[in-house]
Amino acid sequence: MTAAATALPRAILSTDADIKRFLLGGNATITVLNTETGERRTIKVSCKRDKVDDGWAIKSPFFVNVMTGSCNEEHFTYTGLVPSNAAKTGDKFYAYSPKRGGARSEKAGQGSTAFKWLWSLIHGRNSNGSARTPSDNHVAAYSNLEIWHEGRCGCCGRKLTVPESIDRGIGPVCWDRLGAMGAR
Ligand SMILES: [Zn+2]
């Protein structure tokens, strides 16, 4: 099997609003890339949901996991959570800290820090909670920052196919549901 046959249609999410919507889709995987240093952190944000008539009801916080294995292993480590009503609670992120004596891998710690930074950024804040200079699009201030989705719908995880779906990271059916739910 060639790489081309299995490649998923990854794309860059380039606005605060697109990134936030994608991250709260319920089944989102992003890669945060620093193009200057080549550093990358792959982060999965997901929640439990029930299907309802016009979409879904969120039944848990959004669990934040960071990839800590090699890319091929896809091994993720839990690193904290965002409240289930995150659309209203803004930039809250509760980083998991291991109990006394517990160990946390360096990679998990770095991923947690990266997520906290990004989650704060798209809400117009620094990691310490202080407000940034008001802007319509805070991610645009970082020319060395790229936020990639991995080619799967941020809501249902299906492979994306339509160009406009690939642009926003959300497939047509889930996009309509988000509309019905007033979530976009
Ligand atoms: Zn979907």
Most confident of the ranges 81-95, 103-117, 153-167: 153-167
State the alpha helices, DSSP H only, in 9-105.
16-23, 86-89
Q: How far is the CA of 143 from the centre of ligand 1 (A)?
A: 29
Q: Which two tokens stand for residue 177?
A: 């549901």
Which has more pLDDT, 117 or 104?
A: 117
Q: Which two tokens stand for residue 64?
A: 């934040």
State the alpha helices, DSSP H only, in 45-162.
86-89, 106-121
In tens, the pLDDT along 39-77 reads 999 999 999 999 998 889 999 999 999 999 876 667 999
Q: How far is the CA of 132 from the centre of ligand 1 (A)?
A: 33
Q: How far is the CA of 28 from the centre of ligand 1 (A)?
A: 10
Q: Which two tokens stand for residue 26?
A: 């319920």
Q: Please give the Cα distance from 151 to 130 (Å, whole number).
A: 33
Q: How far is the CA of 97 from the centre of ligand 1 (A)?
A: 32
103, pLDDT greater than 80:
no
Cβ–Cβ under 8 Å, residues 6 and 112: no
Domain boundaries, the chain: 3-175
User: If you average pLDDT over residues 6-15, what whole number do you get?
Assistant: 93
Q: How far is the CA of 120 from the centre of ligand 1 (A)?
A: 25
pLDDT score recorded for residue 142:
96
pLDDT score recorded for residue 97:
83
Q: How far is the CA of 126 from the centre of ligand 1 (A)?
A: 31
Q: What is the pTM of this model?
A: 0.92
